[in-house]
Amino acid sequence: MASLSVSRHSHLLSGLLPARSKPTSGPTRVRMSLRDDGPSIAVVGVTGAVGQEFLSVLSDRDFPYRSIKMLASQRSAGRRITFEDRDYVVEELTADSFDGVDIALFSAGGSISKKFGPAAVDRGTVVVDNSSAFRMDEKVPLVIPEVNPEAMQHIKAGTGKGALIANPNCSTIICLMAATPLHRRAKVLRMVVSTYQAASGAGAAAMEELELQTREVLEGKPPTCKIFNRQYAFNLFSHNASVLSNGYNEEEMKMVKETRKIWNDKEVKVTATCIRVPVMRAHAESVNLQFENPLDENTARDILKNAPGVVVIDDRESNHFPTPLEVSNKDDVAVGRIRQDLSQDGNQGLDIFVCGDQIRKGAALNAIQIAEMLL
């Protein structure tokens, strides 16, 4: 049987940078691990890129648990995973997998979430789902712990009452980590976002293909194009999500709809253009903000310096600003290029540039922070 070990130094999952930042404090900080009074947890899609990152974050943050189930498709069942010096066998996901499970972390795609998420809830499990399956369901909280923790305050694990909580899309999380502190001060009326999204957003296979294509192109060979059906190495293209009748693609509309739900503001105007770039695992986003109330760049910079989960990299003299490589494998979202929007009068607008690790804060870390709030 194949064996899989949770490694901090996998070059594909680390974006070529082995070192991790210290875990951010976030809304809740727990310093425990395997213990009898912890919750029972399950990881669904454990062999995927985000599933593996779930395990890394659980370990990094010493999340308490009394038992953990490793769940995946029939194809992956039987594989062995080493986690925190213990060996586990991956089990095939079924509805019965959630008997006795307090918290289930899902990252196996929307169809799997739709099929098994409600089944888990019926068994008293609180499901934290990383897919888009339930994000726009009015009854399901869509949560970034630093932004809207109050949306899930009525849900706790271990009560026997199941529930669904949705993890927002990665690009939405990274954007709102930076935009929300400014929104709280000056109220955002309109937000224009351009994203530069990494291979990791399309999964481990896309990351592997980007690496393969890079080698092939450098060797003068035709690139292998299975994931995106086009050359990805040394290229960029409009995000591979389906294009809708309004001309926006699904990724762009996720940012529009999710921002309104998370901010509980149906009036905020949001537009986005999402681009796939040949970067391994961290997204970058250019964000233009128009405010109801004036906000100057120095005040904005101070606000962001004090925002949880945010680090400011804004050195104009040395032209040093956030890059995907610098935030790969890191918990914090980096913000820079903080400047007044010259096209707007009276300090009513700002431009910022944001980078964040798509697998970590854009997916796994955010989910684990949600799970911490359930304790």
Identify any residues that bridge with 286 across adjacent strands, giving them in sequence order.
Answer: 194, 353
DSSP letter at 223 equals: P
Decide: 251 and 156 in contact? Cβ < 8 Å.
no
Cα–Cα distance, 124 to 102 (Å, whole number): 7
- Which member of 154, 170, 183, 320 is catalytic? 170
250-263 vs 170-186: helix crossing angle, rounded to 10: 40
Cβ-proximal residues to 228 (8 Å cutoff; 6+ apart), any chain? 202, 206, 209, 237, 240, 276
The two three-digit tokens of residue 356, written as one number: 């964040």
- Hey, is 40 helix, strand or coil? strand
Cβ-proximal residues to 100 (8 Å cutoff; 6+ apart), any chain? 40
- Hey, is 71 helix, strand or coil? strand
Whether 283 is a known active-site residue: answer yes
Nearest residue to 148 via CA among 185, 188, 184? 184
Identify any residues that bridge with 5 across adjacent strands, giving them in sequence order.
Answer: 82
Burial of 316 (0-12, 13-18, 19+ CB in 10 A): exposed
Whether 175 is a known active-site residue: answer no
Report which residue type is found at 114.
Answer: K
- Which member of 175, 239, 283, 355 is catalytic? 283
- Name the residues annotated as catalytic: 170, 283
